[in-house]
Amino acid sequence: MSRPAYQQLYEKLRQEIISGVLPFGSRLPGKRALAEQYHLSVITVAHALDLLAEEGYVSLRERSGCFVSFQISDPFLGSEPSESVLPSPSETPSSADVEGFPFSVLARTIRRVLAENAGNILLKTPGQGLLPLRQAISRYLARARGIWAEPEQIFLGAGAEYLYGLLAELLGRDRIWAIESPSYEKIRQVYAARNIRLEYLPLGSDGLLSAPLWQSEASVLHVSPYRSYPSDVTATASKRAEYLRWAEQKDRFLIEDDYESEFSVQQRPMETLYSQSSRACVIYLNTFSRTISSALRAGYMVLPTDLLPLCRERIGFYSCTVPAFEQYVLTDLLDSGDFERHIRRVRRRLRETRV
């Protein structure tokens, strides 16, 4: 299936920006010039530029044009492109401002699961979780988040905090781990409870400050690129690229905590670090607690294939902590399309109420 023309133009311009063909500060041709160059309508070009602006690759200046805002910072120059002072909380509405997952849909799914899986819901599941659910998550991530992962790379657990603990066991307690400051308090609590030595890296207005990041002795970095709690900071495209550059060093890992990113009001969901990484160094982590219900203690992580042998050695003996019944319910919600319909409905409501 051919991609829409605006998306093809977006991807071409984005690649030229990232590769430096269009360097930081350079002015892009006007909309009409781009439309003539690529034989597209001005509306199609405008749509592509809006996507680039939303993700932080360009800035649109009224009556001046479109300028590249993506840059790769050099930590050795001592310059700090981001502001050191955190911004005021965003006025952009959160998913908490709109209705939760429809109870009628959930109830109908539960009844169907009870009728069709009565003989299986009390059985013990594999340690990684049920294969049908891992397959459904794999397909969903490919459709919605640009993540291509095999079911064997996906591990289920009873919420994000449980998965944090598994990662501590997997990557090792002898490492130094870095987390955002401020960050979700349970991240610190889980790692501290496992006697992990932590470094607290300060957040600026566009993500972690560069100097503390590059001066850190950590080999594991836990970040929430989308609306980190409680600061409400979303890492820019430039900052996300910097995180990946940091992780390119040997024996370093990024833990991408992608909580609530499904409800971004942007036209196109923010790209994940996992999908952008050229090296198997990013671990993707998400949960259904916000998208469906906090009462549903189910999360998942996606591991690079290179980590799978170590995973089997260090945490492969753990039993899956998500009940089989809940796994069948999640599988049904993903495969039926009800989950994604809910996501689209919430995103529409958030855009409508955006200030």
Residue 257 CB-density burial (10 A; 0-12 exposed, 13-18 middle, 19+ buried): buried
Helix (H, G, I), strand (E, B) or coil at 59: strand
Amino acid identity, residue 214?
Answer: W
Please, what is the angle between helix 338-353 and helix 103-116, to 10°?
170
Please, what is the angle between helix 324-336 and helix 131-144, to 10°?
40
Q: What is the CATH number of the domain that holds 234?
A: 3.40.640.10
Within a domain: 85: no
Same domain membership, residue 120 and residue 59: no
What whole-number distance in Å separates Cα of residue 355 and Cα of residue 267? Answer: 16
Q: Where are the alpha helices (DSSP H) in the chain?
A: 5-19, 31-38, 42-54, 103-116, 131-144, 160-171, 185-193, 210-215, 237-247, 273-276, 308-314, 324-336, 338-353
Mean local confidence (pLDDT), 230-235: 92
Asked if the model's pLDDT at residue 20 lies above 90, the reply is no
Average pLDDT of the chain?
Answer: 88
Asked if the model's pLDDT at residue 305 lies above 90, the reply is yes
- Predicted confidence at residue 329, as pLDDT, reads 96
pTM to 2 decimal places: 0.84
H/E run at residue 61: strand 58-61
Within a domain: 88: no
Asked if the model's pLDDT at residue 193 lies above 50, the reply is yes
- DSSP lists the bridge partners of residue 27 as 67
Please provide the DSSP assignment of 266-303 as one string. SSSPPPPHHHH-SSS-EEEEEESTTTT-TTS--EEEE-
Number of domains in the chain: 2
Within a domain: 135: yes
Asked if the model's pLDDT at residue 78 lies above 50, the reply is no
Same domain membership, residue 341 and residue 254: yes
Indicate the pLDDT class of residue 4, thresholds 50, 70 and 90: confident
- Predicted confidence at residue 86, as pLDDT, reads 61
Q: Write out the two tokens for 54.
A: 């939303």
* Domain stops at, among 70, 95, 120: 70
**Lowest pLDDT segment from 219-233, 239-253, 258-272:** 258-272
Same domain membership, residue 134 and residue 259: yes
Within a domain: 288: yes
- Predicted confidence at residue 306, as pLDDT, reads 92
Asked if the model's pLDDT at residue 85 lies above 60, the reply is no
Same domain membership, residue 109 and residue 61: no
Indicate the pLDDT class of residue 186, thresholds 50, 70 and 90: very high
Asked if the model's pLDDT at residue 91 lies above 80, the reply is no
E strand spans, 107-196: 154-157, 176-181
* Domain stops at, among 70, 90, 117: 70
Same domain membership, residue 55 and residue 108: no
pLDDT digits (tens, 9 = 90+) for 125-137: 999 999 999 999 9
Return the closest-CA partner of residue 262 out of 353, 151, 339, 161.
339
Asked if the model's pLDDT at residue 347 lies above 70, the reply is yes
What whole-number distance in Å separates Cα of residue 169 and Cα of residue 6? Answer: 44
Same domain membership, residue 159 and residue 113: yes
**Lowest pLDDT segment from 65-69, 180-184, 338-342:** 65-69
Q: Write out the two tokens for 104.
A: 């009628």
Same domain membership, residue 297 and residue 219: yes
pLDDT digits (tens, 9 = 90+) for 22-64: 888 899 988 899 999 999 999 999 888 988 888 888 888 877 8
Mean local confidence (pLDDT), 302-309: 94
Same domain membership, residue 187 and residue 255: yes
* Domain stops at, among 70, 88, 120: 70
Asked if the model's pLDDT at residue 262 lies above 60, the reply is yes
Residue 155: φ, ψ to 5°: -125, 135
Range of the domain at 18: 5-70
Amino acid identity, residue 252?
Answer: R
- Predicted confidence at residue 53, as pLDDT, reads 86
- Predicted confidence at residue 3, as pLDDT, reads 76
- Predicted confidence at residue 191, as pLDDT, reads 96
Return the closest-CA partner of residue 328 out of 64, 184, 125.
125
What whole-number distance in Å separates Cα of residue 235 and Cα of residue 227? Answer: 8
Within a domain: 97: no
- Predicted confidence at residue 338, as pLDDT, reads 95
Same domain membership, residue 147 and residue 9: no
Within a domain: 75: no
Same domain membership, residue 119 and residue 42: no
Same domain membership, residue 168 and residue 267: yes
Indicate the pLDDT class of residue 264, thresholds 50, 70 and 90: confident
Same domain membership, residue 181 and residue 58: no
- Predicted confidence at residue 304, as pLDDT, reads 94
Laid out side by side, the sheet with 253-257 consists of 154-157, 299-302, 282-287, 253-257, 220-223, 176-181, 197-204, 207-208
Residue 354: φ, ψ to 5°: -65, 135
- Predicted confidence at residue 203, as pLDDT, reads 96
Within a domain: 131: yes
Within a domain: 78: no
**Lowest pLDDT segment from 93-97, 137-141, 147-151, 252-256:** 93-97
Return the closest-CA partner of residue 31 out of 65, 64, 2.
65
Asked if the model's pLDDT at residue 288 lies above 50, the reply is yes
DSSP state of 263: G
Mean local confidence (pLDDT), 71-78: 59
Higher pLDDT, residue 282 or 52: 282
User: Strands 207-208 and 154-157: what pairing?
Assistant: unpaired
Find all residues with CB under 8 Å of 212, minimum gap 6, and list them: 201, 202
Asked if the model's pLDDT at residue 111 lies above 80, the reply is yes
Asked if the model's pLDDT at residue 183 lies above 50, the reply is yes
